[in-house]
Structure 1
Amino acid sequence: MRALFGVRARHRWVHLVIGGALLMPYFLVGSVIVGSITPGASSFDSFPRALVTFVVALPFAAVSGLVPIARPLLVFGARALSGVDPAALADGPARSRDARLRTSAWYTLHVALGGILSGMSLALPPFTVFLIVLPAFPGLRHTVYSTSGPLSSGWGIACAPAAGIAMLLALAACSAAAGALLARLAPVLLGPSPADRLAAAEQRAAELAVRNRLARELHDSVGHALSAVTLQASAARRVLDSDPEFVREALAAIEETTRRTVGELDSVLGLLRQDDGDLATPDLTALEGLLSRTGLKVAYSLKGDPASVPELVSREAYRIVQEGLSNALRHGGSSPVTLQVALSDGELALVMENPLSGAAPVVRPGGGRGLRGIAERAVLLGGHASAGPDGDVWRLSARLPLGGAR
């Protein structure tokens, strides 16, 4: 009984009735065509003429289903009323030829089954009610049927209510079967095509790339700021009583670093909230300011004009240097750092070295991802990067082709 009259069965019956309503304009067009061939008669005069009109109407429905925007409308109805898994159906208009043909097949089947079930739903219930109440009103058979019909005998009148109930059950069974057929075919005809799956995969890849970029920006910006602040605060604590001027400079550097990092953090969080605007990331032209605030003695040499570096390469190079300084703070203590930036032969070369202090490095819980991020940035631009001990120094080197910005 639940399969015939449950909530899902009722929703699917409504879905079929909507299909019958959608069939009516095509049926009227078919009646005009049939009437022009056989004038003087209506498509509703006889069942054969109505059946011919029904068949003539279906090709017009099939043509309507080829419109790309038809698929999202049909998917909405199938998700809401047919009990189909939403993930099994496609989103967006049907772009490819295969998707449009499958959508047209679904629409044609929907209006065909809906037209048949709508006609049955209009015709059978009044007749079944007549059969159910016939034993209580025997005189009804004389007003509707001839006295020589099957309802003229006592057995015919006695069996009429059972026949009426059987007809209602048959109508419910036909509706449930048609609804189940549409639900089974929905993923096949309204499901994503190979082109849709490819577009969805590309969209997921693009979103993942954005998430990875935001993760790298947060790691490099916030990680560097915390390392610099930790070093400045530690040095200021050690000389708090003996060198107040140094403490004042360290506090000023901490203030500037945190203010800049909060601005970058707001920019990244704005993108996570899907606000408009682009990620405001510093580039090589801001490198000297970064070196002055880091709290390390940096011997910086530059060959070439950083303003001529493409924007994307310049931003990624800035982040690589920033992460290298963070590693120097964690692993080299206050040892001086040597940084060389050179532009030559369509390539940007970065080399950073700092002596190994021999002390245990500052290890963060869970380990760091900075070196992996540096390698990812370089590879995405078509270059390469390496980092590791070289004798008594730690060397970070990266080569970024300027054409990687394309």
Structure 2
Amino acid sequence: MSTVALTLFGRRARLRWIHLILGGALAMPYVLFGSVVMGPVTGSADVFGSLALQLASFGVGLPLAAVTSLFPLTRPLESGAVRWLCGVDRDRLAYGPARTRGEKGRTAAWFTLHLGFGGIVAGMSLALPPFAAVLIVLPLLAGLRGDRLGLPEVLDHTWALALAPVAGALSLVALAGCAAACGALLARWAPLLLGPTPRERLAAAEARAADLAVRNRLARELHDSVGHALSAVTLQASAARRVLESDPEFVREALAAIEDTTRRTVGELDAVLGVLREGDAPGTAPAPTLAADLDALLRRTRAGGQRVSATVDADPEALPPLVSREAYRIVQEGLSNALKHAGERAAVDVRIAVADGELEITVENPVTDPAPCRAGGGHGLRGIADRARLLGGTATAGPTAAQIWRLCARLPLKGPAPTPPGRNPSKGPA
């Protein structure tokens, strides 16, 4: 019983009833137009005095409603009303104007159904409640019986008078049932008539994919640049604090490295936030690359006491800009992981080489942390894998049998592979 009452009089049913009454209100101008047509045709001076002429006027006005539904704002407005009042999910509705012939035809069909059902339910909502109220109170007010209210003569009988309240209550229930049924039908048909077409779904999916790609890129850049800077600054500050009294020269170098790291990170952060703007805003700092910033990255890492050896068997200047940028971030993340998991004095080996048309990056450090990677993988390693995959390459990371953590990334080079000149700017431990 409670389920039936909720279906007929619950919040969803009431909102759909309001949606139908709004359709009836929208139908009134078209009904008035139909009455103007039906009056001369039938020779009647009072079209609204006859139910048949009212229905005929309603039928004449609906085709005009279908024509006016071709205005561009019809579908967005109707979709919004269906979402809020009929309870249809946003993803199942189209909010742009109808453009193709099929979209316009479905919009016209929906608008006609909305006004048609709405006009009927709105008319019943105006007529039935007063009639039902009279029937319910009729046994209590005997003076209302007679010809003054135009009630049927059958109500003069005692048995009919006793059943009048029941008939009044049933008429209200029938009105609620009719409104609930019409509202449910419109809610079911709305995705078919107002739903997005395959073309619109594809456009929405492409927009979501583009937005997700921008978010992922922003997350990777923030993690790699800011995360590495914080790890390096923490290590440098910790090392400087321990030798504050015994090695003032090292402390000065560490403080200078901290200053350089933070200043550079602010510039990188400005470049990363440029992703949030429309395109890359002019005037933002360029993203760091392997060619321009590798030596500075190694120098800042060593300033905190980390022993880093680097072997570069490639010409960074000859690398494609995109490969050079992503390679720098991969090396940066590898050093950042070594700072966090290998210990301050552990040796880190970085090798960069070109072989078989690919740029190969290897970062190795001893495994001193029993769990160098969080359960499910860290964000940094996932970011490295994403960077490599977007360039058509591969990335692997894990411990070897010799208890060495190895990060290896291969990035294919676009165009002719650069010739390795045997450049070793920082070979050997610092």
Determine the structure 1 residue equivalent to 2:346.
333
Matched, 1:116 2:120: yes
**The one of 317, 331, 338 aligned to 1:321:** 331
Determine the structure 2 residue equivalent to 1:57.
61
Cα distance 1:340–1:251, how it changes in 2: closer, same or farther (>3 A)?
A: farther
Of 323-332 and 190-199, deviating more is 323-332
Matched, 1:172 2:176: yes
Determine the structure 1 residue equivalent to 2:427.
none
Using the alignment, how far apart are the partners of 1:88 and 1:20 within structure 2? 27
Cα distance 1:241–1:110, how it changes in 2: closer, same or farther (>3 A)?
A: same
Using the alignment, how far apart are the partners of 1:161 and 1:94 within structure 2? 49
Cα distance 1:232–1:299, how it changes in 2: closer, same or farther (>3 A)?
A: farther
Q: Following TM superposition, by how much is the alpha carbon of 1:304 offset from its aligned partner in structure 2, in angstroms? A: 7.1
> What letter corresponds to residue 18 of structure 1 in structure 2?
L
Determine the structure 1 residue equivalent to 2:148.
143
Q: Following TM superposition, by how much is the alpha carbon of 1:17 offset from its aligned partner in structure 2, in angstroms? A: 1.2
> What letter corresponds to residue 374 of structure 1 in structure 2?
I
Cα distance 1:154–1:72, how it changes in 2: closer, same or farther (>3 A)?
A: same
Deviations 1:250-276 (A, max 9, x none): 2211232134335545765797xx677
Q: Following TM superposition, by how much is the alpha carbon of 1:195 offset from its aligned partner in structure 2, in angstroms? A: 3.6
Using the alignment, how far apart are the partners of 1:37 and 1:280 within structure 2? 77
**The one of 216, 220, 232 aligned to 1:212:** 216
Q: Following TM superposition, by how much is the alpha carbon of 1:21 offset from its aligned partner in structure 2, in angstroms? A: 0.4
CA contact (8 A) 1:35 1:42 kept: yes
Using the alignment, how far apart are the partners of 2:157 and 2:260 within structure 1? 103
Determine the structure 1 residue equivalent to 2:391.
381
CA contact (8 A) 1:339 1:351 kept: yes
Cα distance 1:16–1:304, how it changes in 2: closer, same or farther (>3 A)?
A: closer
Matched, 1:293 2:300: yes
CA contact (8 A) 1:72 1:93 kept: yes
> What letter corresponds to residue 93 of structure 1 in structure 2?
G
Of 214-223 and 133-142, deviating more is 133-142
Question: Could you say what secondary structure the match of 1:92 adopts?
Answer: coil
Q: Following TM superposition, by how much is the alpha carbon of 1:19 offset from its aligned partner in structure 2, in angstroms? A: 0.9
Cα distance 1:49–1:341, how it changes in 2: closer, same or farther (>3 A)?
A: same
Cα distance 1:387–1:52, how it changes in 2: closer, same or farther (>3 A)?
A: same
Query: Where does the alignment leave 5 or more consecutive residues of structure 2 unmatched?
Result: 303-307, 416-430
> What letter corresponds to residue 202 of structure 2 in structure 1?
L
Q: Following TM superposition, by how much is the alpha carbon of 1:283 offset from its aligned partner in structure 2, in angstroms? A: 2.8
Using the alignment, how far apart are the partners of 2:137 and 2:397 within structure 1? 92
Using the alignment, how far apart are the partners of 2:309 and 2:361 within structure 1? 13
Matched, 1:27 2:40: no
Aligned residues: 392
Determine the structure 2 residue equivalent to 1:15.
19
CA contact (8 A) 1:225 1:257 kept: yes
Using the alignment, how far apart are the partners of 1:89 and 1:353 within structure 2? 48
Using the alignment, how far apart are the partners of 1:165 and 1:225 within structure 2? 75
Of 53-62 and 195-204, deviating more is 195-204
Using the alignment, how far apart are the partners of 1:158 and 1:363 within structure 2? 84
Question: Could you say what secondary structure the match of 1:44 adopts?
Answer: helix
> What letter corresponds to residue 346 of structure 2 in structure 1?
G
Matched, 1:185 2:189: yes
CA contact (8 A) 1:351 1:395 kept: no
Of 367-376 and 42-51, deviating more is 367-376
CA contact (8 A) 1:353 1:393 kept: no
CA contact (8 A) 2:80 2:95 kept: no
Using the alignment, how far apart are the partners of 1:242 and 1:340 within structure 2? 40
Q: Following TM superposition, by how much is the alpha carbon of 1:380 offset from its aligned partner in structure 2, in angstroms? A: 1.3
Q: Following TM superposition, by how much is the alpha carbon of 1:22 offset from its aligned partner in structure 2, in angstroms? A: 0.7
Matched, 1:46 2:50: yes
TM-score of the aligned structures, taking structure 2 as reference length: 0.71
How do residues 192-211 of structure 1 correspond to structure 2 at under 5 angstroms?
192-211=196-215
CA contact (8 A) 1:58 1:108 kept: yes
TM-score of the aligned structures, taking structure 1 as reference length: 0.75
Using the alignment, how far apart are the partners of 1:226 and 1:157 within structure 2? 87
Using the alignment, how far apart are the partners of 1:154 and 1:238 within structure 2? 105
Query: Where does the alignment leave 5 or more consecutive residues of structure 1 unmatched?
Result: none
Deviations 1:224-249 (A, max 9, x none): 33453465456656765554223311
CA contact (8 A) 1:225 1:261 kept: yes
Determine the structure 1 residue equivalent to 2:76.
72
Q: Following TM superposition, by how much is the alpha carbon of 1:377 offset from its aligned partner in structure 2, in angstroms? A: 1.6
Using the alignment, how far apart are the partners of 2:12 and 2:116 within structure 1? 20
> What letter corresponds to residue 186 of structure 1 in structure 2?
A
> What letter corresponds to residue 290 of structure 1 in structure 2?
L
Using the alignment, how far apart are the partners of 1:299 and 1:239 within structure 2? 30
Q: Following TM superposition, by how much is the alpha carbon of 1:112 offset from its aligned partner in structure 2, in angstroms? A: 0.8
CA contact (8 A) 1:30 1:56 kept: yes
> What letter corresponds to residue 141 of structure 1 in structure 2?
G
Deviations 1:188-207 (A, max 9, x none): 44444434443343333223
Deviations 1:20-74 (A, max 9, x none): 0011122223334444644565542433332222222222223344445323322
CA contact (8 A) 1:72 1:92 kept: yes
Deviations 1:199-225 (A, max 9, x none): 343333223322322232233223433
* TM-align CA RMSD: 4.3
CA contact (8 A) 1:20 1:118 kept: yes
CA contact (8 A) 2:334 2:407 kept: no
Determine the structure 1 residue equivalent to 2:419.
none
